[in-house]
């Protein structure tokens, strides 16, 4: 599909009575960590605090990173993980994971962080009642990279994913490496064959295989399954998802082994078939205790492309061989695999299949469960953040107005909603409703109003219901 060349940005829909109101934090392209209120007013910008993602902590603290490694030598490697206060002062920093010596660049220590991290006290990094992240102490789990050669996977240089835990003082006390558990992911022989030949090779560093591409990582936290005696769901265990392989799995913190998973195939049992293929997914996590749906898995199922296996017309070599041109947000029970709640093109009010790709982000994106049962969704590739109710009603929508210079996109990797009292530096803002606009009658200044100069009615036909309202965008609505 193609998108309109002209459309509003900022907050476009807002129903204060049905929203879970608070501040929303996201990375404004090439600007920094941006905090907005429910009307889209920009209340704070931490300039040049990059976010992969940015996260707000109680007290007006924000986490992010200070910059990216030279893209000639790696893919999505970030220098450090830092925490800044309201005024932008760095109050915590970690970069002591690997000493990197890239030709032509100053040697330095790096965290090699990417995609996710979690501060002790909160398993998922977004607001959960009674689970506040400390801003002056505590361990941090970090998702990062390490380059390895593992002949069991490929003879190519692999950009492997690792998870490590670091103390407030900077000591690494636990580490897990993805490649060391290759036999636990359940790949068929055809998938192993393509992985051996092409482990998602990227040109950086002379060629490296971004073979799994884990893009989210969080602890499970207290949950009903562990309370009932299921050790797979120990609160310390860690859930991750591999975007390139279409797998979501849980790591035992004690042993490092895979103790639960869905994927890489979704056609092997009746339960998996009912769940449907999860492709290129992001932000898979267990909904924490204290939020509606606690214990269920919430994931943004991107669609797009992902997986390794037999070649097909859309994937002649068998790499990225599962394809779907629309997205889903799924909440499902990790034991029965039954879908508890979902937001798909159907729930968005779109006609399947002709309009399904209007709810579609083939990369990035996320979903956050809010305390009132609503879900905050980042449809990332189009820079759209929306809040929907359990009944799938759209009650808030925001379109990022920030485009990048290198990539002409307003994409938003991941957005988080936090309560007003996490930012004591600000007074609670005024909440003004924004009614949805009837786009069928909305016109730019100087454009003709709906209706033809000459009308001929054809006998025997059924007339459409006539539109009576007219919206005209005024000069006051058009801002620099």
Question: Using CA atoms, how far apart are residues 148 and 242, in angstroms rounded to an integer?
Answer: 17
Considering the entire predicted model, what is its pTM? 0.95
Question: Using CA atoms, how far apart are residues 331 and 295, in angstroms rounded to an integer?
Answer: 10
Residue 139 lies in a domain: yes
Residue 116: give its domain's CATH number.
2.130.10
pLDDT for position 353: 85
Cβ(83)–Cβ(145) under 8 Å? Answer: no
Residue 23 lies in a domain: yes
Question: Using CA atoms, how far apart are residues 269 and 338, in angstroms rounded to an integer?
Answer: 12
Q: Strand, helix or coil at 2?
A: coil
Q: How confident is the model at residue 479 (pLDDT cuts 50, 70, 90)?
A: very low
Residue 413 lies in a domain: yes
Helix (H) or strand (E) holding 275: helix 270-275
Residue 52 lies in a domain: yes
Residue 137 has a CB neighbour count (10 Å cut-off) of: 12
Say whether pLDDT at 284 is over 90: yes
Residue 428 CA, chain-centre distance (Å), reads 27
Average pLDDT, stretch 58-85? 97
Average pLDDT, stretch 146-165? 98
Residue 5 lies in a domain: no
Question: Using CA atoms, how far apart are residues 328 and 313, in angstroms rounded to an integer?
Answer: 24
pLDDT (tens digit per residue) in 454-477: 877 788 777 655 444 556 655 444
Helix (H) or strand (E) holding 21: none
Kindly write down the DSSP assignment for every residue of 179-242, as one continuous string.
GGGGGGS---HHHHHHHHH-SSEESGGG-EE--S-EEEEEE--S-HHHHTT-GGG-TT-EEEEE
Q: Please report where in the chains the tokens 């009576």 appear, as a residue.
A: 468
Question: Using CA atoms, how far apart are residues 336 and 162, in angstroms rounded to an integer?
Answer: 29
pLDDT (tens digit per residue) in 17-41: 999 999 999 999 989 999 999 999 9
pLDDT (tens digit per residue) in 336-374: 999 999 999 999 999 988 899 999 999 999 999 999 999
How does 218-243 read in b/e, with b if 16+ C-beta sit within 10 Å? Answer: bbbbebebbeeeeebbbbebbbbbbb
Q: How confident is the model at residue 230 (pLDDT cuts 50, 70, 90)?
A: very high
Q: Could you give the strand order of the β-sheet that contains 61-65, starting from the edge strand earlier in sequence? A: 50-57, 61-65, 81-84, 90-94
Average pLDDT, stretch 152-163? 98
Residue 27 lies in a domain: yes
Question: Using CA atoms, how far apart are residues 156 and 325, in angstroms rounded to an integer?
Answer: 31
Range of the domain at 221: 10-442
pLDDT (tens digit per residue) in 422-442: 999 999 999 999 999 998 888
Size (the chain), residues: 480
pLDDT (tens digit per residue) in 200-228: 999 999 999 999 999 999 999 999 999 99
Residue 129 lies in a domain: yes
Say whether pLDDT at 280 is over 60: yes
For residue 19, give the nearest of 285, 385, 349, 480 by alpha carbon.
385
Say whether pLDDT at 391 is over 70: yes
pLDDT for position 450: 76
pLDDT for position 135: 96
Residue 480 lies in a domain: no
| Total domains in the fold of the chain | 1
């Amino acid at each position: 599909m193609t998108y309109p060349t002209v459309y509003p940005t900022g907050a476009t829909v807002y129903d204060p009575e049905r929203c879970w109101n608070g501040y929303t934090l996201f990375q404004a392209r090439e600007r920094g960590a941006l905090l907005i209120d429910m009307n889209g007013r920009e209340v704070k910008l931490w300039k040049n605090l990059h976010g992969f993602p940015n996260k707000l902590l109680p007290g007006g603290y924000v986490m992010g990173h200070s910059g990216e490694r030279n893209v000639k030598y790696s893919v999505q490697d970030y220098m450090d993980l830092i925490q800044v206060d309201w005024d932008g002062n760095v109050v915590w920093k970690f970069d002591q994971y690997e000493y990197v010596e890239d030709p032509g660049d100053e040697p330095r220590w790096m965290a090699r962080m990417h995609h996710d991290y979690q501060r002790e006290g909160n398993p998922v990094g977004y607001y959960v009642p009674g689970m506040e992240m400390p801003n002056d102490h505590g361990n941090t789990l970090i998702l990062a990279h390490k380059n390895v050669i593992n002949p069991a996977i490929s003879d190519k240089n692999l950009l492997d994913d690792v998870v490590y835990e670091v103390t407030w003082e900077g000591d690494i006390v636990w580490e897990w490496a993805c490649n060391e558990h290759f036999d636990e992911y359940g790949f068929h022989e055809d998938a192993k064959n393509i992985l051996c030949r092409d482990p998602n090779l990227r040109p950086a560093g002379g060629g490296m295989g971004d073979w799994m591409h884990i893009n989210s990582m969080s602890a499970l936290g207290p949950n009903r399954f562990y309370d009932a005696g299921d050790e797979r769901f120990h609160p310390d265990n860690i859930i991750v998802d591999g975007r390139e392989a279409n797998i979501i799995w849980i790591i035992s913190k004690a042993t490092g082994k895979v103790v639960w998973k869905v994927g890489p195939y979704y056609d092997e049992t009746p339960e998996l078939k009912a769940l449907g293929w999860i492709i290129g997914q992001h932000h898979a996590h267990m909904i924490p205790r204290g939020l509606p749906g606690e214990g269920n898995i919430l994931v943004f199922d991107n669609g797009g492309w992902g997986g390794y296996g037999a070649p097909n017309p859309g994937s002649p070599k068998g790499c990225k061989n599962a394809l779907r041109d629309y997205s889903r947000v799924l909440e499902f029970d990790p034991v029965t695999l039954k879908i508890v709640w979902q937001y798909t093109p159907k729930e968005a009010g779109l006609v399947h299949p002709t309009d399904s790709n209007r709810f579609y982000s083939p990369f990035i994106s996320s979903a956050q469960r809010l305390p009132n049962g609503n879900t905050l969704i980042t449809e990332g590739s189009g820079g759209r953040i929306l809040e929907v109710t359990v009944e799938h009603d759209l009650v808030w929508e925001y379109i990022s107005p920030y485009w990048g210079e290198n990539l002409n996109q307003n994409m938003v990797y991941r957005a988080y909603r936090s309560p007003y009292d996490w930012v004591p530096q600000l007074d609670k803002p005024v909440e003004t409703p924004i009614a949805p606009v009837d786009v069928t009658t909305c016109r730019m200044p100087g454009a003709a109003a709906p209706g033809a100069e000459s009308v001929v009615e054809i006998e025997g036909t059924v007339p459409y219901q006539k539109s009576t309202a007219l919206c005209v965008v005024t000069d006051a609505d058009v801002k620099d």
